[in-house]
Amino acid sequence: METYDIAVIPGDGIGTEVTSAAMEVLDTVAENHGFQLERSTYDWGTERYLDEGAMMPDDGLDRIESADSIFLGAVGHPEVPDHVTLNGLLLPIRKGFDQYICKRPNKLFEGIESPLRGYEAGDIDLVVYRENTEGEYANVGGREHRGFSNEVAVQSGLFTRKGTERIVRSAFEAATEREGHLTSITKSNAQAHSMVFWDDIVKEVSEDFPEVEVDSLLVDRASMDLVRRPEEFDVVVASNLFGDISTDIAAIITGSLGLAPSGNINEENDYPDMFEPVHGSAPDIVGQGIANPLASILTGAMMFEYLGDGKEAAAEDIWNAVEAQLADESAPRTPDLGGDAKTVDVVSDLSDRL
């Protein structure tokens, strides 16, 4: 049988809960479509850090580089500072494997009430292309004179022509396959170097895509418009930090972080892509069995779309089953969607639909 090697990193908090839920569903769908997932599960995360002093082994990336794909739950634990855990596991994988596209689709599904008044199913349908390897996350800088009155911390951004051009081009390409509308989010009124550079590159690349209508919005205004008139967004392209912020907004206006999938992608190199939900380890609900597994399950659908020569039919089955479940008023839903169901109830209902 056609077999795909998946490196699974459940990570911390609800990351472990939603990952096992997603794996159950992915196995069912793979079987229905005549292929299988051979999983290697890695216990990398904050428990490991607390035991052994590192989130993953020194040769962590070498161990997973030959996998067909990586599936991650979430990283982050209240007992260890986030900059330690995230820079010890999640961010090095994105950067090490040069996964420059962080693709995050959001759609208002039937049966889901947006917190925005008057929006109905299908009214909001956008995808964010977030730069994922550099920008504000480059960690260029330092901190000196700790504790003294002349203490200083510098955190610079790093924007390269290659890095900016490739994410912008990918977003334009996506726009040609969707509604032909691209919104670029910057802050070029205040940030006169990186963001003006970004705007210049958007202008240059746009010449190759005359059919795409381009809007350039400042991030403050864009945040407001994502709430005021989200129907005007189709494809969004943004730097690492602005893309991060926009995708939490995009998730909540379409119902919940518990519905928002994400992929870290580079189709040009031989390294695996990594798929993970947009949400984090949610320490406020960990251990209660009430995490919404659908973000992680839809993340699995995205992984299928990028597996081998593309397992689109398998992915579509997942999207359809999730849509059908959400549209069904009698189906179980977790508290983030206003219900009182458990993670396992959602999974078992979904498995029946598959």
Where in the sequence numbering do the catalytic residues fall?
137, 187, 220, 244, 248
CB of residue 86 vs ligand IPM: minimum separation in angstroms?
A: 4
Q: Are strands 101-107 and 69-74 parallel, antiparallel or unpaired?
A: unpaired
Of 61, 80, 86, 344, the one binding ligand IPM (CB under 6 A) is 86
CB of residue 338 vs ligand NAD: minimum separation in angstroms?
A: 11
- 273 counts as binding ligand NAD under rule CB under 6 A: no
Stretch that binds ligand NAD, among 158-166, 229-237, 275-283, 298-306 (CB under 6 A): 275-283
Residues sharing a CB contact under 8 Å with residue 350, sequence separation 6 or more, in sequence order: 25, 297, 321, 322, 325
How many residues belong to the site for ligand IPM (CB under 6 A)?
A: 4
Of 257, 274, 297, 315, the one binding ligand NAD (CB under 6 A) is 257
Q: Of residues 275-294, which lie at the interface with ligand IPM (CB under 6 A)?
A: 278, 280
Six token digits for residue 294: 């659908």
Residue carrying structure tokens 């069995």: 289
- 37 counts as binding ligand IPM under rule CB under 6 A: no
Decide: 91 and 55 in contact? Cβ < 8 Å. Answer: no
- 244 counts as binding ligand IPM under rule CB under 6 A: yes
Six token digits for residue 180: 């032909």
Decide: 320 and 268 in contact? Cβ < 8 Å. Answer: no
Determine which helix (DSSP H) or strand (DSSP E) holds 248, and give its type and residue range. helix 240-253
Query: How far is residue 316's CA from residue 184's CA, in Å, rounded to a whole number?
Result: 29
Of 23, 37, 74, 347, the one binding ligand NAD (CB under 6 A) is 74
The full length of the chain comes to: 354
Of 12, 244, 276, 305, the one binding Mn ion (CB under 5 A) is 244
CB of residue 72 vs ligand NAD: minimum separation in angstroms?
A: 7
CB burial string 336-346: b at 16+ within 10 A, e below: bbeeebbbebb
Of 183, 240, 281, 299, the one binding ligand NAD (CB under 6 A) is 281
Residues sharing a CB contact under 8 Å with residue 204, sequence separation 6 or more, in sequence order: 165
Stretch that binds ligand NAD, among 72-80, 100-108, 125-133, 198-206 (CB under 6 A): 72-80
- 136 counts as binding Mn ion under rule CB under 5 A: no
Query: How far is residue 85's CA from residue 198's CA, in Å, rounded to a whole number?
Result: 30
Q: Convert residues 4-33 into a mask of x (bound to ligand NAD by CB under 6 A) and - (unbound).
A: ----------x---x---------------
Measured from the CB atom, is 4 or 306 closer to ligand IPM? 306
CB of residue 309 vs ligand NAD: minimum separation in angstroms?
A: 28
Q: Are strands 125-131 and 101-107 parallel, antiparallel or unpaired?
A: antiparallel
Answer with the entry of Mn ion, ligand IPM, ligand NAD, none that 259 interacts with (C-beta below 5 to 8 A by kind): none
Query: How far is residue 190's CA from residue 213's CA, in Å, rounded to a whole number?
Result: 25
Query: Which residue type does 186 have?
Result: T
Query: Which residue type does 285 have?
Result: I
- 12 counts as binding ligand IPM under rule CB under 6 A: no
Chain center to CA of 103: 6
- 266 counts as binding ligand NAD under rule CB under 6 A: no
Decide: 75 and 12 in contact? Cβ < 8 Å. Answer: yes
Among the residues of 183-218, which ranges form H helices?
A: 194-206
Task: Catalog residues that contact ligand IPM under the rule CB under 6 A.
Answer: 86, 244, 278, 280
Task: Catalog residues that contact ligand NAD under the rule CB under 6 A.
Answer: 14, 18, 74-76, 82, 86, 90, 257-258, 276, 279-285, 291-292, 295, 334, 336
